[in-house]
Structure 1
Amino acid sequence: MLTTPAGLDADDTLDVLMARQPIYSKNQDIIAFELLFRSANGTDIASIGDDAATLDVITNSYASLSVGKQNQHLPCYIKVTDKILLNDQLPELPPNLFVLEILGRSTITPEFIQKVSDYAKRGYRIVLADYDPSDLRFDPLLNTVHVVKLDIQLLGLANIPSIVQRLRPYQLDLLADKVETKEEFRQCLEIGFSQYQGYFLSRPEPVKGRKIRGNKVILLQMLAELNREGATGDSLEQIAINDAALTYKILKVVNSAAFKTPKEISSLSHAIMLLGMEQMRRWVLLFLTTAQDGTPNALTRNLLVRGRMCELLASMQGYDDSLNFFVVGLLSQIDALFDQAMPDLLEGIPIQKEIKQAILKHEGVLGSVLEEVVHYERGEFNQLSGALPQPYYEVAYRHSLKWSDNVMGTLV
């Protein structure tokens, strides 16, 4: 039986599945998103632009990013086929919001080159994907496109410097694609790329002997106390007051718009009791998933989206204890935050065995929901189990994006 969690509109569905993947700068700031999509009639991009509601969703959810207290709209990269370009099937998308990505399998004809040039003159930035330096067909496009995407796994990292040197006279932005590790990111940085895409932020680089910093130790103590049957506001306060920043964050959460505090808060224990034990457990976990220096980052944002989407999919399917699903998603890449091996890291976190097994091995119902969310965020829509109608996945993902932005503002 399908149920709709509070805050979600079951009718707020689209005829298209969408996910976004970040594109990063040298400083690992998100500067754009690649928009992955599949519409009900296949992959017809016209269905996106011709539907005003869908375009509005893209603008306000998929292209939106909360930075501190500000909302920014970032450009979305979208793949376009030869047919779309040559037959003028591209809808009137705003050039400031959409970047057109030409596929490497395109048939490069004079007509095709002219069409690309026409779109560039209309203000669209053009990306050339799947660039192969040995294929001379691409050369006429290099004077027109703005960004060249290089698949470093396919081309081989050892061959990249000579390719970059060859492209340098064209003064293009170079995007390193499929950057899987932090070491690959560092090498690409030295080579001179300006844009980066891949899962390098979500892969840990375990450092032997690295310890969790003091403020995180206090959070783990708080988590252990919250899992103790006799925990009280006073017992939690005695732990939290050892960290001034944590104390401030708890008071800030209670005083936020989400919790309409009816009267003055008299003490930290009073604030904790107003928040409630379940919400307190949720916020301690959220504080735990900020970066080691205590500030939220791009990986934190992804964990928030995962946690919330796991929780929503579980609620939609009628599973009990949806908070456990939230925990599984939220902690699923915490090893990358702390640069520690996941088994060692989970050993020190007081959570249930089934949660740990779901994170480590995708076991059980908890693990299967996490797997669904991972497939969705990567745009692997054909891998979804079908446990829910497909539009429900998109609604849950979209809601999770917005929710993560709200939480990021509180974590700052």
Structure 2
Amino acid sequence: MTGSIEAGESLDLLLARQPVFNKSQDVVAYLLLYRNDDVQAPKTINDHLATSSVILNTYASICEEGEVRSLPCYIKLTDQTLMADNFPDLPKESFILEILGHSKITPEFVERVKMLNQQGYRIALSDYRPHPKYEPLLNLIHILKLDIQKTGIDQLPQVVKDLRPYHLELLADKVETQNEFRKCHELGFALFQGYFLSKPEPVKGKKLGSSKVLLLQMMVELQSPQATAQSVEQLVINDPLLTYRILRVVNSAAFSLQREIESLSHAISLLGFEQIRKWVSLFLVTDTQEKPEELTRSMLVRGRMCELLAEMLGRDQPINNFITGLFSKLDVLLDMEMPELLEQVPLQAEVKAALLTNEGQLGQILDQVCHYERGDFEDLDLLLDQHFYEAAYRHSLSWSQQVMQSLSDK
């Protein structure tokens, strides 16, 4: 569950990833986001692409149902990068080249796209809008990204109809709600990108299930000054499955313990309340089968990155930053409005304030992490040097994968 990161492990650019989903809301690829407002950015990303294994080992790696595999990455290419003489020889199964819609489509540009197509690269065109200038590219690309907010839901049926002769894979971009996802699904889009997994679809009058109530009771007990390993154990002892899951996880390689754990109270004594509190939080957010795994994965990444930044800044009780980040999407996971949900969740007042209004030091770090995840790098306050942000994010990706494996039934 823990691990330190060294500044020397960082890349020299800010890099984040955003998922690309299929119709089943499974992640089939990631879009790589990098800071592109620097005049040196095209050269910087080009240099990193030349050693793409550094990126792929973390940013393309995913754990699904306990199995680790690599997914392809979309990489946005400026005209300068695409036309560069030293364009790197990228692994074609690992990268999808994304042309920008505002590119200057010259005969030379079209010829370069044609050459990359013939070399076997998959090519996507983003920010498309109906215009004759794109005609030379439509027979050369494989994936067409439509910004549904700019295009408008009402205009999409005609645009999709006009594109059918090209037999392109259509990607709905900027999908913000589950309702928009469903509409695009019905129109025949195969791929989806956006923040539709970041907003709940509230179920009126919904109450937490008994297993989640038990986990929340454990969290309350773990925060009590009078709590003991035995008092926590007594809460769980009548739930054999939860007891088994906790013992199984703490016996895993994640803790590198030298001795077998024989009981829950023994595990709590060895690991301490902070670690057990963290795992109780993890069980709470990973025990919702009907939601896509990517939601759980993103919650883990956010929680861990909040915790790491707090540790780097020397803040008190970084565990509270972890819980703040982890629970910041609990409303989506449980399909409840956050204020109503927090009435049923016994969290500390400062955690609740951060979740509701981004207040305090907890809210400050949560806000920073949310900007980083979205690739809004220009909105970062940079409480630390930027390479610490990238190192924390990359470590959090790896950590979330380790946790997903530990919590898997496989």
The TM-score with structure 1 as length reference comes to: 0.94
In the superposition, relative to structure 1, how do residues 115 and 335 fare at CA in structure 2: closer, same or farther (>3 Å)?
A: same
Cα displacement (A) at 1:249: 1.2
Within 5 Å, which residues of 2 pair with 1:141-152?
141-152=137-148
1:319 counterpart SS class: coil
**Contact map agreement 1:16 1:40 (CA 8 A) in 2:** no
Q: Is 154-163 or 66-75 further displaced after alignment?
A: 66-75
Within 5 Å, which residues of 2 pair with 1:97-112?
97-112=94-109
Q: Which of 371, 374, 397 does residue 370 from structure 2 map onto?
A: 374
Q: Structure 2: how far apart are the matches of 1:210 and 1:159?
A: 36
Cα displacement (A) at 1:280: 0.7
Q: Which of 333, 348, 351 does residue 352 from structure 1 map onto?
A: 348
Cα displacement (A) at 1:48: 3.0
Question: Gaps (5+ residues) in structure 1?
Answer: none
Cα displacement (A) at 1:110: 2.4
Cα displacement (A) at 1:197: 0.3
**Alignment-derived partner of residue 79 in structure 1:** 76
Within 5 Å, which residues of 2 pair with 1:112-151?
112-133=109-130, 135-151=131-147
**Alignment-derived partner of residue 206 in structure 2:** 210
1:401 counterpart SS class: helix
In the superposition, relative to structure 1, how do residues 251 and 49 fare at CA in structure 2: closer, same or farther (>3 Å)?
A: same
* Counterpart amino acid of residue 404 in structure 1: S
* Counterpart amino acid of residue 374 in structure 2: R
Q: Structure 1: how far apart are the matches of 2:40 and 2:96?
A: 17
* 1:158-178 residue CA offsets vs partner (Å, 9 max, x unmatched): 111121111122111110000
* 1:219-271 residue CA offsets vs partner (Å, 9 max, x unmatched): 11111121222222222222223433312210111210122444443333323
**Alignment-derived partner of residue 239 in structure 1:** 235
Q: Structure 2: how far apart are the matches of 1:300 and 1:374?
A: 15
RMSD: 2.0
Q: Structure 2: how far apart are the matches of 1:266 and 1:387?
A: 43
Cα displacement (A) at 1:345: 0.8
**Contact map agreement 1:19 1:376 (CA 8 A) in 2:** yes
**Alignment-derived partner of residue 383 in structure 2:** 387
**Alignment-derived partner of residue 23 in structure 1:** 20
Q: Structure 1: how far apart are the matches of 2:252 and 2:394?
A: 23
User: Is residue 195 of structure 2 the alignment partner of residue 199 of structure 1?
Assistant: yes
**Contact map agreement 2:64 2:293 (CA 8 A) in 1:** no
2:35 counterpart SS class: strand
User: Is residue 15 of structure 2 the alignment partner of residue 14 of structure 1?
Assistant: no
Q: Structure 2: how far apart are the matches of 1:299 and 1:177?
A: 18
2:52 counterpart SS class: helix
* 1:323-357 residue CA offsets vs partner (Å, 9 max, x unmatched): 11111111111100000000111121111111111
Cα displacement (A) at 1:56: 2.8
Aligned positions, number: 407
1:325 counterpart SS class: helix
**Contact map agreement 1:99 1:127 (CA 8 A) in 2:** yes
**Contact map agreement 1:147 1:172 (CA 8 A) in 2:** yes
* Counterpart amino acid of residue 16 in structure 1: L
* 1:128-185 residue CA offsets vs partner (Å, 9 max, x unmatched): 111112x111122111100000111110111111211111221111100000011111
In the superposition, relative to structure 1, how do residues 172 and 395 fare at CA in structure 2: closer, same or farther (>3 Å)?
A: same
User: Is residue 402 of structure 2 the alignment partner of residue 406 of structure 1?
Assistant: yes
Cα displacement (A) at 1:53: 8.7
**Contact map agreement 2:23 2:190 (CA 8 A) in 1:** yes
* Counterpart amino acid of residue 62 in structure 1: Y
Cα displacement (A) at 1:273: 2.6
User: Is residue 344 of structure 2 the alignment partner of residue 337 of structure 1?
Assistant: no
**Contact map agreement 1:291 1:300 (CA 8 A) in 2:** no
Within 5 Å, which residues of 2 pair with 1:152-171?
152-171=148-167
* Counterpart amino acid of residue 388 in structure 2: Y
Q: Structure 1: how far apart are the matches of 2:325 and 2:79?
A: 38
**Alignment-derived partner of residue 34 in structure 1:** 31
Cα displacement (A) at 1:63: 1.1
Q: Which of 250, 262, 280 does residue 284 from structure 1 map onto?
A: 280
Q: Structure 2: how far apart are the matches of 1:142 and 1:365?
A: 49
Cα displacement (A) at 1:394: 0.4
In the superposition, relative to structure 1, how do residues 98 and 52 fare at CA in structure 2: closer, same or farther (>3 Å)?
A: closer
Q: Structure 1: how far apart are the matches of 2:260 and 2:99?
A: 58
The TM-score with structure 2 as length reference comes to: 0.94
**Contact map agreement 2:75 2:97 (CA 8 A) in 1:** yes
Cα displacement (A) at 1:49: 3.9
Cα displacement (A) at 1:26: 0.9
Q: Structure 2: how far apart are the matches of 1:57 and 1:40?
A: 22
Q: Structure 2: how far apart are the matches of 1:396 and 1:63?
A: 16
* Counterpart amino acid of residue 285 in structure 1: S
Q: Is 21-30 or 92-101 further displaced after alignment?
A: 92-101
Cα displacement (A) at 1:309: 0.7
Q: Which of 208, 216, 221 does residue 220 from structure 1 map onto?
A: 216
